[in-house]
Amino acid sequence: MTAKGPDAPIVSGDPILGIVVDMLDTGGYEAVQLREVARRARVSMATIYKRYRTRDELIVAALEGWMDANRYARLPSLIDELPGESMYSDLMHVMRTIFEPWERHPLMLRSYFQARSGPGGKRLIQRGVEAVVPVAKSVLAQADPGFVNDLELILTGVVFGFLTRFAQGEIDVTEIVPGIERTVYWLTQAYQNADAGRQPHISGGGISQPSEGSTSSLYCGQ
């Protein structure tokens, strides 16, 4: 596994969250024990419970702060930094920005994967949607809506599969981005080589229908 890099984050504002991030980053989800958090923060348990009703809520808040600082902070300015060479290169520029921080902090990814299916997990997922959708829409603005729908469906499933396999110990964290890259490459190549006027986009049992707000989960649970 990739070791934690020198850019190990510190959540600003609430020192309690910074301590929780450090515990997640070095020991994982189960390492976060409230008595130890209180001891390190030099606060009472009552103070922690006053701010965060449960341990899960505290962990979600810490993960949210870490992801805002390390995964999502660059996304608003990324639109102006995209290479513009191809749909593939622009999409991968976005994907690397989102996923490469996990390579330096694999225990944070394990913690996120556990938290997203627990109390407060929907909040983490929604935050990802809000952060990623604007830049994803910019990259795919000129693409056929049917292709965008199919790309979202396929890529979301592929990424979730990689994250699940990593969480279960089947693959290393460094295999995630290359797997995403291969998927994006072949999907965009097929689209660009197709005759857009004659190629239907199949989803399930029929032709996919364009929908408003597509790319809503293109961030893939990230």
Q: Does domain 15-207 have CATH number 1.10.357.10?
A: yes
> How many whole angstroms separate alpha carbon 70 and alpha carbon 170?
25
CB 203 within 8 A of CB 147: no
What's the pLDDT score for residue 207?
39
CA distance 184 to 189: 8
C-alpha distance across the termini of the chain, in Å: 19
| 185/179 Cα distance (integer angstroms) | 10
CA distances from 187 to 85, 171, 215 (A): 16, 23, 15
- What pLDDT is attached to residue 218? 52
Return per-residue pLDDT of the chain as tens, 222 residues: 444 444 544 555 789 999 999 999 999 999 999 999 999 999 999 999 999 999 999 999 999 999 999 989 888 888 887 878 889 999 999 999 999 999 999 999 999 999 998 888 899 988 888 888 888 888 998 899 999 999 999 999 999 999 999 999 999 999 999 999 999 999 999 998 874 454 544 444 443 444 444 444 454 455
Amino acid 80: pLDDT: 80
Q: What is d(CA 129, CA 150) in angstroms, rounded to the nearest whole number?
A: 17
> Can you give the pTM of this predicted structure?
0.81
